[in-house]
Amino acid sequence: MATQIFLSYRREDSSAWAGRLRDALTSRVGEENVFQDVVGVQPGQNFTAAIDGALRRSNAVLVVIGPNWLTTASADGLRRLSDEHDHVRAELSAALRLGGLVIPVLVGRGAMPNPDQLPDELKSLALLQAVTLRDETWSHDVEGLFQAIGVPSRRARTRRLAIAAVAVIALLAGAAIGAVLLRSENPDDSTADDASTTPADLAASTTFDRSLPLPECTTPAVADDWNQLVADGAREIGPASTPSARTEVVEGRYRDGEDDRWDVLLAVDYTALTDGTQYQNWWYYQLTNGGLRVDPSCFSVTGGQEPACCGEVSEVLIGFEVGTEPAIGTALLIDDGGNHGRIELAPN
């Protein structure tokens, strides 16, 4: 089932940001799976009924809060949130009552309200964990929001599309070989079963599971059978003048695993160096070993701040399974929103 997202915002406060966020959402989950009242309610449709129906179908409600969300007033000077007929108040009251996932999204230096600034039925909104989308780190911050609501990353989506393409090509190749064999057996009946399956039919018949989070890494209780990997120091990633983060492998281990595989476990400190909120995702990391790049097999945030901002540190544990014993040339690769880094690793 596709992720259904309800976008709540106040037009006078955050229309531009809401539109930008809607574009990002529709590019990932499809236009039909994002409800924004300005485009989601058809002419002549009952507004309240449309809103209630959309909320009940939604997996997540995103509450876009800009700089004037709390104080926007009507023409008569009454604060809109104080009006019991205000549509934003009605949306949020219903969303909180239904008990689904509600995420405040701060834009344009908007801030979370205090409970005493909200009507009684909205006070619980002030207790929810918010996500901040900053203009200067928009793409990175939106990826963190996607993770929070269970939308697959671009990398996972690209991987599924690539697998789909390979599957379709394989099916087409099989169909073509079958057709050749059939015609070789029936040389005088070249029109037999010419109504073959089209590529579009094959693609439509192929389904793929949604990407799932990686299992959490477990720190070994006994390290006797682990060998040490030594890193060549911390690395800043991003432009030299304005790096976005600093990464450091604080501990590295490897051991001979099962089925001719080697286990590698890295404890990494990630220091956010920008003013924007930065999340940790497993797809930011790869291990290069024996000439091959390997994705993590487990990933977990073990300490520090998550998300991190402004000099804060996130502590993560990243595990890999590789086909050859780590040696000179093994390295941790970091790709954080297009900002790249490489930390060389070597057996002690």
**pLDDT tens digits for 324-337?**
888 878 899 998 76
Model confidence, pTM? 0.47
pLDDT of residue 220: 65
Q: What is the mean pLDDT of the chain?
A: 78
**pLDDT tens digits for 136-188?**
888 888 888 888 887 765 544 444 434 444 444 444 445 444 444 444 444 44
Q: What is the mean pLDDT of residues 100-110?
A: 91
Domain-by-domain residue ranges, the chain?
5-153, 155-204, 227-347
Residue 163 is classified by DSSP as H
Tell me the C-alpha distance between 32 and 17, whole Å.
20
pLDDT of residue 51: 76
**pLDDT tens digits for 112-133?**
999 999 999 999 999 888 899 9
Judge whether 259 and 251 are in contact, CB under 8 Å. Answer: no
pLDDT of residue 102: 92
The per-residue DSSP string of 234-293 comes to -EEES-SSS-SEEEEEEEEEEEE-STT-EEEEEEEEEEE-SSS-B---GGGEEEEETTEE
Tell me the C-alpha distance between 110 and 105, whole Å.
9
pLDDT of residue 165: 41
| Fold of the domain spanning 5-153 | Rossmann fold (3.40.50)
pLDDT over threshold 80, residue 298: yes
Reported confidence tier of residue 71, pLDDT bands at 50, 70, 90:
very high
pLDDT of residue 152: 66
Judge whether 285 and 297 are in contact, CB under 8 Å. Answer: no
More confident residue, 37 or 281: 281
The dotted CATH code for 227-347 is: 2.60.40.4170
Reported confidence tier of residue 19, pLDDT bands at 50, 70, 90:
confident
Q: What is the mean pLDDT of residues 186-198?
A: 39
